[in-house]
Chain A
């Protein structure tokens, strides 16, 4: 049983602990920006790109003298692709006085911190997340999304394909069995149909063929899609699934059976993985393809720095987007000379500058990114060392395809 002596001794131990200083620190010295991203587990590959882009952005700004003479310090935390860890990291960063956060890319981790931003007076730039809920039902004015909503990005993609290939009237769709990819597929299909109908054509869209998420064997589904009789094919698989899918598709000669192949958003990851076994030709959306960014010194500088850092001339688009997130915060501070959310939010709402990914600007109503869209066509090449090359690039104004703004409400 506990007696008075135990309680006194316990209290004495507590007094010892109380003498440990609290870790609260005020924002002083350099401007501190917290970066929360996935640096371990299955999403680590994307998080590493985000970290690289953010660090290169900070290095560039600091080498140019900082923001209004103040250097930037990036404090990086791993969200382990779990909302729990994202919250712990966010609370640790804000508890130590940080008022500026960049966070990405998985939506659930972003959604975990959104409700806290306003009360904490934090300004947050979301890196890459495409989920509609971020700028609609879960909108908070303290967040800006430098990411591409599915209607804008894939509605625009469908529009482009219907416009450039009016002879393709029968489409097959393949997607992993998860909701986010279902949304992407639906918006692509919707973009196709809208443009075709506007041009007086009627398209035949087959029911999507579902493949297992995180699966290993897609041959049944590839066989099914090969026999679909369609001319155009939209593949919506992510990461490792996409690599296995395209690898297995080689023996079915998928690229010869279809007149037009579209990959959702794996861009050059597929080409880099398949090398000389790359498909003949496919389209993909990308947020940043530096070789196509003519007269963009920001993109050129980032591309050069990334190539030196990783010895890889074909960076993933997350590098460009996370670079621009930090640049957005820096531009906002430069304009207001303040890191307070009350000053920064209106400044960022009115910003428009050339980032690595092109024109960076946000829609005032819901803080959705309203910048440029980029699509590339690439495929097998016998003349390059890599075994593949990019054949053409198309830029489009993203704002034309943005869904209606309904901040605080579901679309």
Chain B
């Protein structure tokens, strides 16, 4: 008897904290995602790979929104620029330099974001910035639709998945599982960089600007410069995601610059949780799950998906992440950070 009481005491001492529970779940999810090629068919694998890319893209958008307090409705345009740069380069036979192509596409996205941000952020914010960025993305879409050498409305199909050359070896990414694991590695690297930026000095400066712009300026933070930097980083992440997406889908079309692509990160962030780094990632996978589960309900799929999204956003104001943390705190009271 006394021994079992001692064991219970010992168990209580070793009980996981809430953040440790989340870490366990995170590891489990990461292992499952990495093992997907062994667990499912090529259809679901394609969806999960696409969702990973969109999750990274959404984290980049959320960096701008939740950290810098700026809403862009035209991030699809930057995603599209990255995708087209990658598509053109791979179709031109530069597949062995794919990593370099990703870098160039990222820089192209960053450069366009810099040009837009440099002008726009001085004069606009809030709804005006949202409409301006939306208009620019639409302008890009229409330009692509009328550009014959970029395939007009039909886009560029037949994009080959690359075999990347290194000095001593080659990395063959032509098969679905191989490219999927490349996407996993890409997601780890990009999420790591975004985490580092969000939780470092830049992230703190941006949050100071978002909370109180006058006070931040008073204490010596260059508001315009920091916002511009966030805009450029967000654009670079979107273009980088687009560059990785092109060989995965093997086709790019002007629709990548359309409203749907631009609103995806907003939707994922609202669903997953505003002001949470992992919110857009959780939102992206939740959306994919709902979409996949209702795929055969033709005609009512949009109603069901829309209803669920509306319900989650209205009832659970903190999104899935916020509500999950609140639920854990309720089930396991006193298990906060120790």
Contact = CB atoms under 8 A, between A and B. Distances in A.
B267 to A, nearest CB: 15
A179 B145 contact: yes
A128 B158 CA distance: 21
B46 A87 contact: yes
A26 interface: no
B268 to A, nearest CB: 15
A78 interface: yes
A92 B41 contact: yes
Contact of A107 (B28, B38, B154, B255): B154
B153 A112 contact: no
B24 A88 contact: no
Interface stretch (A2-10, A195-203, A284-292): A2-10
B41 A23 contact: yes
B249 A111 contact: no
A45 interface: no
5 contacts: A13-B31, A87-B249, A91-B41, A92-B41, A94-B42
Nearest to A10: B27
B295 interface: yes
A95 B36 CA distance: 14
A10 B24 contact: yes
Interface string B38-73: 111111111100100000000000000000000000
Interface stretch (B223-231, B296-304, B316-324): B296-304
Interface string A82-99: 111001111111111000
Given A94-B42, A179-B146, A10 B155 contact: no
A96 B155 contact: no
A309 interface: no
B31 A11 contact: yes
Given A11-B31, A107-B154, A133-B154, A22 B39 contact: yes
Give the contact-size bracket for chain B: 35 or more
A96 B253 CA distance: 27
Interface string B174-202: 00000000000000000000000000000
A40 B301 contact: yes
Interface residues of A, number: 46
Nearest to A13: B28
Given A91-B46, A111-B157, A112-B157, A77 B295 contact: yes
Contacts of B23: 2, 6
Contacts of B30: 10
Given A10-B24, A23-B41, A39-B298, A88 B47 contact: yes
Given A23-B41, A91-B42, A179-B153, A9 B50 contact: no
Interface string B135-175: 00000000001101000111101100000000000000000
A14 B295 CA distance: 26
A377 to B, nearest CB: 30
A104 to B, nearest CB: 14
Contacts of A2: 23, 27
Given A18-B39, A89-B43, A95-B43, A10 B28 contact: yes
A179 B152 contact: yes
Contact of A112 (B152, B249, B295): B249
A115 interface: yes
B302 A40 contact: yes
Interface string B11-30: 00000000010011111101
Interface in B282-338: 295-296, 298-299, 301-302
B28 A9 contact: yes
A406 to B, nearest CB: 16
Nearest to B31: A14
B155 A83 contact: yes
B43 A112 contact: no
